[in-house]
Amino acid sequence: MPPLRCQILPSFDPENRDSLLAAFAGISPIEMGQAWLAAPEPDFLAAKVCVGRRGNSLIVSATMPDLDIFTKTTDANQRTWELGDVFEMFLKPEGEDFYRELHITPANTRTQLAIAAEGATGEFLPDGIFASHVWIESGHWHVLAAVPTTVVTTRAEISPGEKWCFSFCRYDAFRDGRQPILSSTSPHPVPKFHRPAEWGVMVFD
């Protein structure tokens, strides 16, 4: 997958969906898929994700079609993937072993994990280290996330040309007990998201 350009966005109101869409106008989304399957599952619905930059924060906008929008989460740093729908972000400075796993649910509850290296057990980070908003419409839910560089790296500023490895993933769950449908922007040969060698690379303007 070619590097993903992370452009500088115009100012926008993070609580206004129309303002967010205007800020991302002209930026092509990337789609989640199921690269580990020869053909997608029957109920698979492709989410679309756009990225940009404001100051020293990564801005992520995701739109997820969904047949059954729900979560049983009630607080931060719960095991969201076992409790319903969840949008997941994996972010890692290029050349480093450590990475962050950040989740957002339709209830705008967040889970934040620091992972020292592939295969290591994640450690929960304080809630609110990144900002998020969620909008729910008929058949879709939309996520906005603003992730400061200090959450992902050891530096306070993003430098032009800086590279992060990334993967955006999803658990699309069902209340009737069916197994959730997994998808990712990464070309994983198996449905396992903690495989940094297969993630994409974004380059900041």
d(CA 187, CA 119): 19
- Percentage of the chain exceeding pLDDT 90: 97
Structural domains for the chain: 4-204 (2.60.40.1190)
For residues 184-204, average pLDDT? 98
Give the angle 124-100-52 at the CA atoms, nearest 5°.
130
Q: Which of 202, 203, 204, 193 is nearest to 81 (CA)?
A: 193
At 177 the pLDDT is: 87
pLDDT per residue over 95-140, tens digit each? 999 999 999 999 999 999 999 999 999 999 999 999 999 999 989 9
* Cβ neighbours of residue 18 closer than 8 Å, sequence gap 6 or more: none
State the pLDDT at residue 107: 98
Q: Which of helix, strand or coil describes residue 127?
A: coil
Stretch 64-76: mean pLDDT, rounded? 97
pLDDT at 134: 98
Residue 166 carries which DSSP code? E
The answer for residues whose C-beta is within 8 angstroms of residue 181's C-beta and 6 or more apart is 34, 41, 43, 44, 45, 171, 172
pLDDT at 20 over 90: yes
Average pLDDT over residues 186-190: 98
| CA gap 88, 110 in Å, rounded | 10
- CA pair distance 197, 180, nearest whole angstrom: 24
* Whether the predicted pLDDT of 94 surpasses 90: yes
Q: If pLDDT is split at 50, 70 and 90, which confidence band does 188 have?
A: very high
- Are 79 and 94 a contacting pair, CB within 8 Å? no
On whether the CB atoms of residues 168 and 94 are closer than 8 A, the answer is no
Instruction: Report residue 163's pLDDT band, with 50, 70 and 90 as the boundaries.
Output: very high
Q: Compute the mean pLDDT over every residue in the chain, rounded to the nearest whole number.
A: 96
User: Per-residue pLDDT for 1 more than 80?
Assistant: no
